[in-house]
C-alpha cells in the first residue's frame, strides 16, 4: 500500500480552503493508502507565533481534523515537533540544497515581500523542512494545494539529489496527489484568487450560521451581466466556484443560465451559496466543539500518532546515516 503524508500549519482555525483543498481528501485517502497526517508547528515559527498560541493551535487543528472525519486508528495524526528525527534529516537535506534555488521559490519571495522585517533562515529553508516531513516516511504521494506545487518539486529534487550524490535508489520522488484533475483552489470572498488567513477573506469551519451568511452576502461583485453569453469576470467566477464545491450540477446550470440570459441577481446567488455553506459547515462545527472540550483525548491521539511517526522516521534515518557514512 502506497504511503501518503501531509500536514497543515497550526496558524489558527481551519477554513474552507483547508477543508476542500486538503482535509476532505485526507478523509477519502485514509481507507485507500497508508497515511500519516501531521500538524506542522515548526513551520509556524517562520511567522513567530506567541508560545501560548502554538499548543492551543495544535489542539485546535487536532479537533478539526477529527471533526472532518480523519480516524486516528486508520491514519496517525501527530504534531511535527514530537518527531525529533525530522530535524536531523532536515539538516542533511539542507547540506545538499543551494541558496539560489531556495531564493527562487515563489512562496519564499511572497512571504519575504509580506514580512520584510522577518525574512528568517527558516522561511528560506521551508521547502527542505517540508521535504524532510515527507521523505522521513519515504512517502510516494502528497496531497497538496496549488500554492505548494513548487515546494513539492523541491522535495522531489531533494530526493533525487540525495540518491544521485550517494549512488543509491533510497528515496522515492514523492508525487503531487489530487482527487480532481488538478490542484483545487478555493477562492476568497474579497474578489481575490485564493482563500487565506493572511488575506482576511476566509470562512472558517467554526463560523456560526449567521457569520457565514454575512460573509457571503458581503462578497465582492460587479454590475452584473450586460451581454448574453459573456465571459464571467474572476470575482463572479469565484462565486460560481462555491456552487461547484458545495452543490450539484443542476444548481450550477440554473445560475449559469441566468448569467447567460442576463437575468442573474447576485443577491439570490449569494443566498443560495450561503445556504449551501451553512449546510456543509454546521455538522462539522458541532463536532469540532465536542472534540475541543476533551483535551485529554486530543493529547492522547497526538502521543500515539507521534509514536508511530517516530518509528517510521527512525527507520529511515538509520539508513540515511549509513548511506552518508555516519556510524
**What is the residue-averaged pLDDT of the chain?**
90
pLDDT in tens, 119-141: 889 889 999 999 999 999 999 99
Instruction: Kindly report the pTM of this predicted structure.
Output: 0.85
State the cell numbers at 189.
Answer: 470572498
Q: Which of 146, 185, 194, 271 is catalytic?
A: 194
Mutual orientation of helices 266-292 and 51-68 as an angle, nearest 10°? 110
pLDDT given at position 194: 77
**What are the Cα distances from residue 63, in Å, to 28, 288, 294, 298?**
18, 6, 9, 7
28 in active site: no
Q: Please report the pLDDT score of residue 10 as a whole number.
A: 64
Whole-number pLDDT of residue 180: 59
Q: Pick the catalytic residue: 111, 141, 215, 270?
A: 111
Q: How far apart are CA 81 and CA 304, in angstroms?
A: 14
Contact criterion met (CB below 8 Å) for 191 and 235:
yes
Residue 194: active-site member: yes
Are 203 and 276 spatial neighbours (Cβ–Cβ below 8 Å)?
no
Query: Average pLDDT, stretch 272-292?
Result: 96
Lowest-pLDDT range of 74-78, 114-118, 303-307: 114-118
In the numeric block, which cell numbers belong to residue 322? Answer: 549509513
| Nearest one of 327, 324, 325, 312 to 132, comparing CA atoms | 312
List the catalytic residue out of 146, 197, 271, 287. 197
Lowest mean pLDDT among 13-27, 84-98, 238-252: 13-27
Model confidence at 279, pLDDT cuts 50, 70, 90, reads very high
Q: Is residue 3 annotated as a catalytic residue, yes or no?
A: no
Amino acid at each position: 500500500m502506497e504511503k501518503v503524508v501531509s500536514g497543515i500549519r497550526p496558524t489558527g482555525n481551519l477554513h474552507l480552503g483547508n477543508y476542500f483543498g486538503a482535509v476532505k481528501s485526507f478523509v477519502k485517502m485514509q481507507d485507500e493508502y497508508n497515511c500519516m497526517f501531521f500538524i506542522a508547528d515548526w513551520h509556524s515559527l517562520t511567522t513567530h507565533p506567541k508560545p501560548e498560541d502554538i499548543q492551543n493551535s495544535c489542539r485546535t487543528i487536532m479537533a478539526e481534523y477529527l471533526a472532518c472525519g480523519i480516524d486516528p486508528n486508520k491514519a496517525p495524526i501527530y504534531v511535527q515537533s514530537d518527531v525529533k528525527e525530522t530535524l536531523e534529516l532536515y539538516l542533511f537535506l539542507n547540506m545538499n540544497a543551494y541558496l539560489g534555488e531556495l531564493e527562487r521559490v515563489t512562496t519564499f519571495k511572497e512571504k519575504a515581500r509580506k514580512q520584510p522585517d522577518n525574512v528568517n533562515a527558516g522561511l528560506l529553508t521551508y521547502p527542505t523542512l517540508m521535504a524532510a516531513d515527507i521523505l522521513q516516511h519515504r512517502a510516494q504521494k502528497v496531497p497538496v494545494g496549488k500554492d505548494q506545487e513548487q515546494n513539492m518539486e523541491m522535495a522531489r529534487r531533494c530526493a533525487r539529489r540525495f540518491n544521485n550524490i550517494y549512488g543509491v535508489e533510497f528515496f522515492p520522488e514523492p508525487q503531487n496527489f489530487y482527487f480532481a484533475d488538478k490542484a483545487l483552489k478555493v477562492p476568497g470572498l474579497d474578489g481575490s484568487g485564493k482563500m487565506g488567513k493572511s488575506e482576511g477573506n476566509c470562512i472558517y469551519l467554526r463560523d456560526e450560521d449567521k457569520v457565514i451568511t454575512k460573509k457571503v452576502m458581503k462578497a465582492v461583485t460587479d454590475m452584473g451581466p450586460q451581454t448574453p453569453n459573456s465571459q464571467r469576470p474572476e470575482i463572479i467566477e469565484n462565486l460560481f466556484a462555491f456552487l461547484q464545491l458545495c452543490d450539484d450540477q443542476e444548481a450550477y446550470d440554473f445560475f449559469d443560465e441566468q448569467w447567460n440570459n442576463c437575468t442573474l441577481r447576485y443577491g439570490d446567488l449569494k443566498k443560495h451559496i450561503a445556504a449551501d455553506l451553512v449546510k456543509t459547515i454546521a455538522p462539522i462545527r458541532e463536532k469540532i466543539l465536542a472534540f475541543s472540550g476533551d483535551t485529554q483525548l486530543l493529547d492522547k491521539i497526538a502521543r500515539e500518532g507521534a509514536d508511530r511517526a517516530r518509528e517510521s522516521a527512525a527507520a529511515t534515518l538509520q539508513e540515511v546515516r549509513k548511506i552518508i557514512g555516519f556510524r
